Amino acid sequence: FIVRDIRDEAKDRAIARHILDIHINFSMAETSTPEGEINLLDLKRFISYCRSKCAPVLSEEAAEVLRNHYVGIRETHRTQKRLSTKNGGAGSSVPITIRQLEAIIRISESLAKMQLCYEATSDHVAEAIRLFKVSTLNAASTGALPGDLSSLGPDQVREVQAVEEQIKRRVPIGSTVPQKKIMDEFISLQGYSQFAVRKALQVLQNRGEIRFANQQKLVQRIN
């Protein structure tokens, strides 16, 4: 079955609050009192000390920053998609998911842990968001993810784009097809290169049009 990611601001805010509460409560339960002094000359001991003695908790202010960031990005995505759809486009493909929100939380906590802070502040969250934007959102917006075609020659680009269109015809929205079946059909029967088929699947995945399931054995069309 298909899990639909319905974008609703009230629901997004509630989900963000729930995820943040889980991390805050878990961190508070795991927090322990630091013991001993840190030997700054011994990096390995310092890292070990950070891991075992420091369990940062998200501050309320930091949680609010994260919550607003999550809701804001998804609202912007909704607006862009509505405008693009109205103009006949395909819409933006860079929404933020729960998994990415949790990744930002972990980065924030890790930044605090590196400084031996027992509270992840809004400054840690701001840096985590910056890293996330640089590594994920900006990369996706400019096509710098694994599905990028900028490094390919004209003939390769045309072949990959042709495979993309064929895959979208072969796998209707809401359906699931074994990846092996797609590879066999497009390589053996239609004569496309293995590289082009794999690259096309990457591109479609990065655009949010398909996703892999069951250890990448299945291809699900979601958009």
* Rg of the chain (C-alpha set): 22
Fold of 154-221: Arc Repressor Mutant, subunit A (1.10.10)
- The mean pLDDT value of the chain amounts to 79
CA neighbor of 78 nearest in space, from 133, 12, 148: 12
Least confident of 19-23, 55-59, 215-219: 19-23
- In angstroms, the CA 105 to CA 19 distance is 9
Q: Pairing mode, if any, of strands 176-178 and 218-221?
A: antiparallel
Domain with CATH 1.10.10.10 in the chain: 154-221
Q: What sign does the CA torsion over 76, 82, 88, 94 have?
A: positive
- In angstroms, the CA 106 to CA 84 distance is 33
- In angstroms, the CA 73 to CA 75 distance is 5
Fold of 9-142: Rossmann fold (3.40.50)
The secondary element (H helix, E strand) that includes residue 214 is: none
Note the pLDDT tens digit of each residue in 186-204: 999 899 999 999 999 988 8
Note the pLDDT tens digit of each residue in 60-72: 999 999 999 888 8
Domain with CATH 3.40.50.300 in the chain: 9-142
Sorting pLDDT into bands at 50, 70 and 90, what band is 23?
A: confident
3-state secondary structure of 120: strand
8 A C-beta contact, residue 66 and residue 20: yes
Note the pLDDT tens digit of each residue in 90-142: 444 455 677 788 889 999 999 999 999 989 999 999 999 888 877 765 555 54
